[in-house]
Amino acid sequence: MLLEFSIWLSETEWSIALHESLYLYPWIESAHVLSICFFIGTLIFVDLRLMGLAFNKLSISEMNSKTLPWTIFGFGLMVLTGLLLFYAIPVRTYQNIFFRFKLFLILLGGINIFLFHRQMSKEGGKWDEENIPRSVHIKASVSLVLWAGVIISGRMIAYNWFDCDRQPQPDWVNWAASCMIELSQMEDF
Amino acid sequence: MDSGQLFFLFDRMEQSFIGELIRNSIWMFPVIESVHLIGLAILGGSILMGDLRLLGFILNSRPINYVINETLVWLKLGLVILVSTGIPLFLSEAIKCYYSRAFWIKMSALTLGLIFLFFIRNPLCLKTEKDSFRFRLVGIVSISIWATVAGSGRWIGFS
């Protein structure tokens, strides 16, 4: 179903135009990379604050509330440019295992943020006076690892090592990328 | 140094051991490139926190010198990661860089950015606690230079 949607998307006029554009695609890609600084760059400092490594004069709630608008701004920019990048190359991206892994890591990152915010709203008032609980340190470290993973797997999408049109691939790759082997082999003939 | 000598130098760097090593590997360039991007997140985030404060957009309840000072060690960490991954990336494709306009724009902007950062922005901002119009100017200049560095860096890959 998603594959059919990607194929349909790839045949739309604007998708082809974007894919073949000389300057627009690189510009969108650059904006996507630069928004890392807004999204992950500001998020890093909240994590560092949670670990007691930066901005320790600020309470956690102040650090979080003052930084969050910029993190959300960066995230919005990343999603917007990311959707356009997907729109330019739908089928290949949909079947790319790094893309799939990246989405999985983003999901985990989102869950981690949700768990942190739930914990903060419950007991965050006490954190400022006493020490920060260990579970918060762990969430901050998990956050740093996950978002670094998102950057790495995002960069790897560009490489075609595991693309469906490059066969033979190990079974687990074809499974993880949901390659239609018969289809891609038929296209060769 | 004329352009012939410069080309010779770049050619020698491309032939270097590290350059050869990375070119002969499928995965080394992508992996180093990814770490380069993690460096971008750290350096870019550090510069943004400071510059947004200079522009009066973040942590306004705290003095400028406090915000700049808190980001300084992370800024340097980001810079170390970026330079130590950027050099091997360059060595693996020095000739391509020689002919790349984006590469020369990036190197010029980077030089300008480092001079501005360590000789103008930080000395000025670490001294002062009070906001004034000229700090907004410093913030705008800083953001513009570093956006050029990062943006033109991405374009090296397109050329």
Contacts of B64 (CB under 8 A, 6+ apart): B53, B54, B125, B128, B129, B130, B131, B135
Nearest residue on chain A to B60, judged by CA atoms? A66
List all residues 6 or more positions away from B85 whose beta carbon is below 8 Å from its beta carbon: B32, B33, B35, B36, B39
DSSP A177: T
Q: Whole-model pTM above 0.90?
A: yes
Give the separation between CA B64 and CA B66, rounded to whole angstroms: 5
Inside any domain, residue A173: no
pLDDT at position B1 is 65
Test B44 with A151 for CB contact under 8 angstroms.
no
Neighbours of A145 (CB within 10 A): 14
pLDDT band at A185 (very low <50, low <70, confident <90, very high): low
Q: Which of residues 34-73 of B touch A (CB under 8 A)?
A: 34, 37-38, 40-42, 44-49, 52, 57-59, 61-62, 66, 70-71
The owner of tokens 């050619």 is B11
- DSSP per residue, B91-127: HHTHHHHHT-HHHHHHHHHHHHHHHIIIIIIHHHHHH
In a domain, A144, yes or no: yes
Interface predicted TM-score of the whole assembly (ipTM), two decimals: 0.92
Contact A36, B41 (CB under 8 A): yes
Note the pLDDT of residue A189: 43
A151 CB within 8 Å of a chain B CB: yes
> What was the pLDDT predicted at B106?
97
Per-residue model confidence (pLDDT) at position A168: 86
Task: Report the C-alpha gap between A113 and B16 in whole angstroms.
Answer: 45
Number of domains in chain A: 1
| Residue A184's pLDDT band (cuts 50, 70, 90) | low
Residue at A28 is within a domain: yes
> pLDDT higher for B129 or A153?
A153
Residue B34, number of CB atoms within 10 A of its CB: 19
pLDDT digits 0-9 by tens, A39-94: 999 999 999 999 999 999 999 999 999 999 999 999 999 999 999 999 999 988 99
CA–CA separation, B69 and B77 (whole Å): 14
The H or E element spanning position A158 is none
Task: Indicate if the pLDDT at residue B25 is higher than 50.
Answer: yes
Give the residue extent of every domain in chain B: 3-156
Q: Which of B34, B42, B44 sits opposite A152 (nearest CB)?
A: B34
Tell whether A23 is covered by a domain.
Answer: yes
- At residue A102 the predicted structure's pLDDT band, cuts being 50, 70 and 90, is very high
Q: Which domain does A107 fall in, by range?
A: 2-158
Q: Find out whether A158 and B37 touch, Cβ atoms under 8 Å.
A: no
- Domain membership flag for residue A163: no
A167 found inside a domain: no
